[in-house]
């Protein structure tokens, strides 16, 4: 599929998720930003959409905010969601991943608001807590929501199977470059690009037996949009 088709698919996937999320009873509200850490990861397709928004809205100064904090520790994944699922299927060892919210706030956060809220990546859409994280000291996420989130992460990676996953800082700074954007458009990004890990198509979905019936309508909605 071409890039514009994939961007349209991504938009539809976000819409299905947002329609699901709006019905949940969660504590999340405007200016609540404890979950906005520097550990957010996303795919190149999501980042491409964000970079288009930054350029259209004259927000490219945000690249410099990412750059000045790029020396700071952050979550840099070794495996993608579909990569993890595939390792599980094969009975292979799952690599240890170091991730800690104390590494600090998202470099983009400004006055407790996201300057990229409309095109924010899926990871920022799906962190939905039943209790206020600041008051309680931690999030409380419904197990079914976690299952739904994993499935959406898998489909979002699947439609960008020729692309990459990485930390928000790495991927946005990578796609700031016109040459890199063109390489991505032409499916010609080098697989050994620092900080980026290649995406994989879905081989199996992460759905525990107790959620298989409940998630069926959501799966049908996703499959109805005709993914490759």
CB of 117 to ligand SF4, least distance (A): 7
CB of 220 to ligand SF4, least distance (A): 28
Cα distance between residue 14 and residue 10, in whole Å: 6
Q: Which helix (H) or strand (E) holds 66?
A: helix 62-68
Residue 40 contacts ligand SF4 per CB under 6 A: yes
Candidates 28, 87, 146, 218: give the one binding ligand SF4 (CB under 6 A). 28
Residue 132 contacts ligand SF4 per CB under 6 A: yes
Cα distance between residue 83 and residue 224, in whole Å: 24
CB of 130 to ligand SF4, least distance (A): 8
Q: Among the residues of 97-213, which ranges form H helices?
A: 122-125, 133-136, 143-159, 168-176, 178-185
Candidates 9, 10, 13, 35: give the one binding ligand SF4 (CB under 6 A). 35
CB of 162 to ligand SF4, least distance (A): 24
Residue 149 contacts ligand SF4 per CB under 6 A: no
Residue 154 contacts ligand SF4 per CB under 6 A: no
Site for ligand SF4 in 99-128 (CB under 6 A): 106, 108-109, 114, 116, 120, 124, 127
Structure tokens at 40: 């957010």
Size of the site for ligand SF4 (CB under 6 A): 19
Total count of residues recorded for the chain: 228
| Nearer of residues 129 and 154 to ligand SF4, judged by Cβ | 129
Residue 36 contacts ligand SF4 per CB under 6 A: yes
Cα distance between residue 123 and residue 2, in whole Å: 24
Residues 6+ apart with CB under 8 A from 42: 50, 121, 122, 123, 165, 166, 168, 171
Q: Closest Cα to residue 180, out of 28, 9, 44?
A: 44
Question: Under the rule (CB under 6 A), what is the footprint of ligand SF4?
Answer: 27-28, 32, 34-36, 40, 106, 108-109, 114, 116, 120, 124, 127, 129, 132-133, 139
């Amino acid at each position: 599929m071409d890039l514009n088709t994939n961007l349209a698919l991504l938009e539809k996937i976000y819409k299905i998720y947002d329609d699901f999320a709006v019905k949940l009873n969660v504590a999340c509200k405007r200016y609540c930003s404890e979950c906005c850490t520097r550990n957010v990861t996303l795919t190149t397709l999501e980042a491409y959409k964000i970079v288009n928004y930054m350029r259209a809205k004259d927000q490219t100064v945000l690249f410099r905010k990412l750059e000045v904090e790029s020396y700071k520790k952050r979550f840099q994944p070794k495996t993608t969601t579909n990569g993890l699922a595939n390792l599980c299927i094969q009975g292979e060892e799952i690599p240890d991943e170091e991730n800690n919210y104390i590494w600090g706030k998202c470099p983009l956060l400004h006055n407790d608001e996201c300057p990229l809220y409309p095109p924010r990546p899926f990871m920022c859409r799906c962190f939905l807590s039943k209790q206020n994280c600041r008051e309680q000291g931690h999030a409380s996420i419904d197990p079914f929501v976690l299952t739904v989130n994993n499935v959406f992460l898998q489909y979002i990676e699947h439609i960008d199977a020729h692309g990459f996953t990485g930390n928000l800082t790495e991927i946005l700074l990578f796609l700031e470059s016109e040459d890199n954007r063109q390489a991505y458009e032409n499916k010609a990004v080098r697989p050994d690009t620092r900080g980026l890990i290649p995406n994989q198509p879905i081989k199996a979905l992460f759905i525990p037996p107790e959620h298989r019936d409940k998630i069926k309508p959501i799966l049908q909605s996703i499959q109805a949009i005709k993914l490759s």
